[in-house]
């Protein structure tokens, strides 16, 4: 069965009717996934890559969604597949965030010991890979499955990155961290107040309480 063609036809039908949205693509993805007779991870990820090879926004959403749906079958070896996808198929912040805050983030939450591999992304020439180094931490932090992760090593490495979407990415990561560890984030922001770019700084302090925020904004 050619799932790419089936998905593409459904996407075209919806686009012609009343426009395409991420939510509508996810609905197509869910419906199509239920028709899969073989839900073994090897088979599913091969189908995902067929979607990714099309380099189409909507088909990419389906690929990352299907990859997330087999999360109970992840192993450490799955990391190599996902890292290759990140570097070969992700091209911007949208698919970077979709992939990293769902499928790839779930994988990382299961295997925190892969953190040194994530750190290497901070030196990658493509901005979306560097952004991924921060954004991938968001899922395990929200799930409280980040015992072997040090987010501040990521923000240190990306502190003065040349791309504004990388700066926003680690600022977002620190903002999420502040919801569970506000004191640690407050202390970190206080320490780096004079060196952290404003865009990262303002993102990071957004969820802190009014008193902390006021103190950080002074001067």
pLDDT of 15? 75
| pLDDT band at residue 17 under the 50/70/90 scheme | low
pLDDT of 176? 97
pLDDT of 19? 75
pLDDT of 219? 58
Which positions ≥6 away from 53 have C-beta within 8 Å? none
123-176 tens-digit pLDDT:
999 999 999 999 999 999 999 999 889 999 999 999 999 999 999 999 999 999
The backbone torsions φ and ψ at residue 40, rounded to the nearest 5 degrees and listed phi first, read -65, 140
pTM of the model: 0.94
Mean pLDDT, rounded, of the chain: 95
Looking at residue 75, what DSSP letter applies? -
The whole-angstrom separation of Cα 204 and Cα 207 is 7
**Contacts of 106-110 spanning 24+ positions with Cβ under 8 A:** 106/68, 106/71, 106/74, 106/139, 107/71, 107/74, 107/78, 107/79, 107/82, 108/136, 108/137, 108/139, 108/140, 109/139, 109/140, 109/143, 109/145, 109/146, 110/71, 110/74, 110/145
Burial of 95 (0-12, 13-18, 19+ CB in 10 A): buried
Is the predicted pLDDT of residue 29 greater than 70, yes or no? yes
CA angle 122, 127, 130 (to 5 degrees): 20
| pLDDT band at residue 13 under the 50/70/90 scheme | confident
Least confident of 29-38, 133-142, 144-153, 210-219: 210-219
Is the predicted pLDDT of residue 52 greater than 80, yes or no? yes
């Amino acid at each position: 069965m050619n799932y790419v063609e089936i998905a593409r036809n459904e996407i075209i039908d919806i686009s012609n009717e009343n426009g395409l949205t991420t939510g509508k693509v996810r609905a197509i993805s869910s419906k199509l996934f239920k028709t899969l007779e073989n839900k073994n991870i090897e088979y599913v990820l091969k189908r995902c890559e067929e979607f990714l090879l099309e380099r189409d926004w909507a088909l990419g959403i389906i690929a990352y969604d299907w990859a997330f749906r087999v999360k109970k079958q992840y192993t450490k070896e799955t990391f190599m597949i996902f890292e290759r996808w990140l570097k070969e198929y992700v091209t911007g912040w949208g698919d970077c965030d979709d992939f990293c805050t769902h499928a790839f983030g779930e994988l990382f939450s299961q295997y925190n010991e892969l953190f040194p591999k994530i750190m290497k992304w901070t030196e990658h020439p493509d901005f979306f890979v560097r952004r991924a180094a921060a954004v991938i931490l968001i899922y395990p932090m929200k799930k409280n499955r980040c015992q072997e992760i040090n987010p501040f090593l990521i923000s240190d490495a990306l502190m003065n990155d040349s791309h504004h979407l990388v700066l926003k990415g680690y600022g977002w990561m620190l903002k999420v961290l502040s919801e569970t560890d506000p004191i640690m984030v407050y202390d970190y922001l206080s320490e780096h107040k004079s060196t952290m770019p404003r865009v990262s700084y303002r993102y990071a302090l957004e969820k802190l309480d009014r008193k902390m925020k006021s103190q950080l904004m002074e001067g």
